Amino acid sequence: MLVLMNSLLLTGGRVVDPANHFDSPADVLVIGGKISAVGKNLSAPKGIEIFDVIGKIICPGLIDLHVHLREPGQTAKENLASGTAAAARGGFTSLVCMPNTSPAIDNSGTVALIRERAGREGLVNVFVAGAITKNIAGEELAQIGSLKNAGVVAITDDGYCVQNNELMRRACEYAKMFDLPVMDHCQDYSLVTDGVMHEGYWSTALGLRGWPSAGEEMIVARNILLAELTGTKIHCQHLSTAGGVALLREAKKRGVPVSGEACPHHFVLTDAAVAGSEKFWANDGKILADLQTDELPSWPAYDTNFKMNPPLRTARDREAILEGLADGTIEILCSDHAPHCDYEKEVEFDYAPFGITGLETELALSLMQLVHTKKISLAEMIAKFTVYPARLLNLNKGSLSAGADADVTIFDPEAEWIFRAQESSSKSKNSPFSGWKLRGKAAATIVGGKVIYSEQMDAVAV
């Protein structure tokens, strides 16, 4: 029998498509890689595979706009194939890769290289962010127009932060001319110096150099002022502090074109985790009701899997991030997936690189902290992973509208499972969540009508 390419019918699921304000049991019909129809009792044309996804959520393919794929140049940590495989396994159909590679993605040739390779080796859609400055050195602007022509969806010096405010202003003005959002890793170098964890009680108790909240808030405030001055959309990456959320909330009320994102580690963990598992579970870990079993995950003090930039902050900051997500101040969820090799992380805390992997755990952790706790609705969480990032970056993604690319995520919000970093599709295993019991899991990931990851979903009829 003839099987239609990139075509399938999903039946029995609950379709949640925030872009179309749709949330109801329905079928989804995909023909030739595009969404053909969403509705009740759809019948499949001959030769189409039918998947019964009863009890599962069907939503637009999830988008992660903050991922380090480490290509070119750092492929011992990750590459396009392994990074996109981890994305697929986590339920993601599109991602945006950061330009702080080696060499940096600061020119059209490198953008073209990544896009061409991603087309060949990537399992999911890969969008590219270009650098703001040449070699991410913060001194001279990259050729923003030619980056745009090469297809970047935003500019950022992520991992670094342009310190010269005049240069940042020019970057914003160019970005606006080319209709590109500017994304910024907010870190004031003079305040942060060589801090390795949040500056507070635990940095003092553990004898580690502090990275103060003001080091982030200073640049969030700078970005608000520059967004107001230039009219350019500035997106603050991985917000971690209560003060940053408050600044953003106030600026948005005034209509300043700024936005923000949060990563699960900042709204799950706190800096007490650096002091070891006992210290964490005794106090800050108590809010993780889902995890309260006899066997809580354990880790030693000074575990470098709890070192990231910006760092884990206090319980009060974590609460503020959760509030910011709940009231819409922070529109976007993402991972800041930052793989590093074992040998790089297995050193003293001071010397370890910042960053953790996140593509395979972010959906579950977001469900646990936001939806299962009833802080936001399931539809709102999905919007933060789909239509909102698509809107920010002008991507033609993030909805199940008829005619849209058939990028679809199917997940079970209740499935309980244990994440094991060693079994991850990523090349790197630097996750603080290894051994954690999680609730919520991707069941299948579909890109352009093709099932690229499936846990146990077999076609019931062909």
Task: Give the span between the Cα atoms of 401 and 396, in whole angstroms.
Answer: 11
Query: Nearest residue to Zn ion, using CB?
Result: 185
Distances (CA, A) of 135 to 78, 303, 310, 336: 20, 31, 21, 20
- Angle at CA of residue 183, ends 185 and 324, nearest 5°: 75
Contact of 236 with 212, CB cutoff 8 Å = no
Q: At what angle do helices 242-253 and 213-230 cross, to 10 degrees?
A: 20
Measured CA to CA, the distance from residue 80 to residue 64 in angstroms comes to 15
Kindly state the smallest distance separating residue 91's Cβ from Zn ion, in Å. Answer: 22
Say which residues have a Cβ less than 8 Å from residue 135's Cβ, sequence separation at least 6.
103, 104, 106
User: What's the closest the beta carbon of residue 158 comes to Zn ion, in angstroms?
Assistant: 4
Smallest gap from Cβ 317 to Zn ion, in A, equals: 17
Nearer to Zn ion, 345 or 437 (CB): 345
DSSP letters, 331-370, are -EE---B----HHHHSS-TTTSPS-B--TTTHHHHHIIII
Question: Where do we find the tokens 């350019």?
Answer: 232
In the bound state with Zn ion, the residue whose beta carbon lies nearer, of 218 and 291, is 218
Phi, psi of 36 (to 5 degrees): -95, -45
CB 431 within 8 A of CB 357: yes
Q: Closest Cα partner for 185 from 359, 310, 37? A: 310
Measured in whole angstroms, the distance separating CA 64 from the mean position of its chain's CA atoms is: 4
Spatial contact of 61 and 446, defined as CB atoms under 8 Å apart: yes
* Residues of the shown chain interacting with Zn ion in the complex, contacts defined by CB under 5 A: 158, 185
Helix, coil or strand: residue 311: coil
Helix axes 165-177, 213-230, angle to 10 degrees: 50
- 212 token code pair: 């103060």
Q: Of 77 and 279, which has the nearer Cβ to Zn ion?
A: 77
Q: How far apart are CA 333 and CA 63, in angstroms?
A: 9
* Nearest residue to 168 (alpha-carbon basis) of 197, 193, 132: 132
* Closer CB to Zn ion, 150 or 263, in the complex: 263
Q: Provide, rounded to whole angstroms, the least separation between the CB of residue 185 and Zn ion.
A: 4
Of 56 and 185, nearer to Zn ion (C-beta) is 185
- CB closer to Zn ion out of 158 and 284: 158
Kindly tell me which of 219 and 406 has the beta carbon lying closer to Zn ion. 219
Element (H, E) at 63: strand 62-67
Cβ 93 to Zn ion shortest distance, Å: 23
Ranges of beta strands (E only) in 111-257 are: 125-130, 154-155, 182-184, 197-198, 210-211, 234-236
Give the residue numbers marked as catalytic. Answer: 336
Nearer Cβ to Zn ion, position 158 or 412?
A: 158
